């Protein structure tokens, strides 16, 4: 007897179907966009105007409201991509392949933003734009992994074969994620240690912490929006010769 409730199983199987996934995404996106805009507006306002000035860094610390969520998302998206890759390899699920490859450009963008904003923050704090320490180097490797996934998928003409190759690369590269996360604890580094995820309590004022967490949630909604929109395009490319896509395109013309 299955321990998973029947409604969840039915939803899972329906979402594995490209037509149902496309239809569900169409209905979901407006709600995601509305929530994202509300969270983003509050997070930016609270972070840039309401949060107090840091007694050591002044107002320059406010770049954390872009840098930290972007860095978190660079790890989060890669884990999602690797999980989708594992599902695609084990169960040959097309939607998992679509989610995996649709996530890669977004993850690469977040990683790039994290590296750039980290350099902008590091210059006044450390006196240098870049240091080859464990955290920054492993984050740069993550960017190369994302770019490798994108390039590999584009280089192979058969997209089912390409998806399998990308899934293997994503699973191999996932070993870099704990290295990034724990690098500031395992090695001496200029990068500051954890301030939000400490076991006792965050070493950041609550008035600074709340907008940071709001921005982190807003970025997750942005990822969902961007990924689903990209996935819709990828599904149409893959399913362009099927009857449901032809009917969909006829209805829109």
What does 116-177 look like in DSSP terms, one character per residue?
A: HHHHHHHHHHHSSS----HHHHHHHHHHHHHHHHHHHHHH-SSHHHHHHHHHHHHHHHTTHH
Ramachandran assignment for 92, one of left (phi > 0), alpha (psi -120 to 50 degrees), beta (any other): left
- Which tokens in the block code for residue 41? 């507006």
Q: Which phi and psi (to 5°) does residue 222 adopt?
A: -60, -45
- In sequence order, what are the residues at sequence separation of 6 or more whose Cβ sits closer than 8 angstroms to the Cβ of residue 212? 43, 47, 64, 65, 68, 69, 196, 204
Given CA atoms 210, 215, 221, 224 in this order, what sign does their dihedral have? negative
pLDDT of residue 184: 65
Please, are residues 210 and 65 in contact by the beta-carbon 8 Å criterion?
Answer: no
Please, are residues 58 and 125 in contact by the beta-carbon 8 Å criterion?
Answer: no
pLDDT of residue 121: 86
Per-residue pLDDT 10s for the chain (253 aa) are: 456 576 776 777 778 899 999 999 999 999 999 999 999 999 999 999 999 998 888 888 899 999 999 999 999 999 999 999 999 999 999 999 999 999 999 999 999 999 999 999 887 777 787 888 888 899 999 999 999 999 999 999 999 999 999 999 999 999 999 998 887 666 556 555 555 554 455 668 899 999 999 999 999 999 999 999 999 999 999 999 999 999 998 888 7
Please, are residues 153 and 161 in contact by the beta-carbon 8 Å criterion?
Answer: no
pTM: 0.91
pLDDT of residue 198: 46
d(CA 173, CA 142): 8
């Amino acid at each position: 007897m299955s321990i998973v409730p029947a409604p969840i199983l039915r939803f899972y199987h329906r979402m594995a179907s490209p037509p149902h996934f496309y239809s569900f995404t169409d209905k979901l996106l407006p709600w995601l966009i509305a929530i994202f805009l509300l969270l983003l507006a509050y997070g930016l306002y609270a972070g840039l105007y309401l949060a107090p000035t840091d007694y050591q860094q002044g107002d320059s610390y406010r770049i954390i409201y872009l840098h930290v969520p972007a860095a978190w998302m660079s790890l989060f998206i890669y884990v999602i991509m690797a999980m989708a890759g594992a599902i695609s390899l084990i169960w040959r699920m097309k939607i998992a392949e679509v989610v995996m490859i649709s996530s890669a450009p977004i993850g690469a963008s977040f990683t790039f933003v994290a590296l750039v904003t980290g350099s902008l923050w590091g210059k006044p704090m450390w006196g240098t734009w870049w240091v080859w320490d464990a955290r920054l180097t492993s984050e740069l490797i993550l960017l190369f992994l994302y770019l490798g996934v994108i390039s590999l998928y584009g280089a192979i003409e058969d997209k089912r074969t390409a998806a399998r190759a990308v899934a293997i690369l994503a699973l191999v590269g996932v070993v870099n994620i704990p290295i990034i996360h724990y690098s500031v604890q395992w090695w001496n580094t200029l990068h500051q240690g954890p301030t939000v995820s400490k076991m006792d309590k965050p070493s950041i004022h609550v008035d600074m912490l709340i907008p940071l967490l709001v921005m982190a949630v807003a970025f997750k909604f942005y990822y969902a929006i961007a990924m689903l929109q990209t996935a819709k395009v990828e599904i149409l490319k893959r399913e362009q010769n099927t009857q449901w896509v032809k009917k969909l395109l006829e209805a829109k013309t």
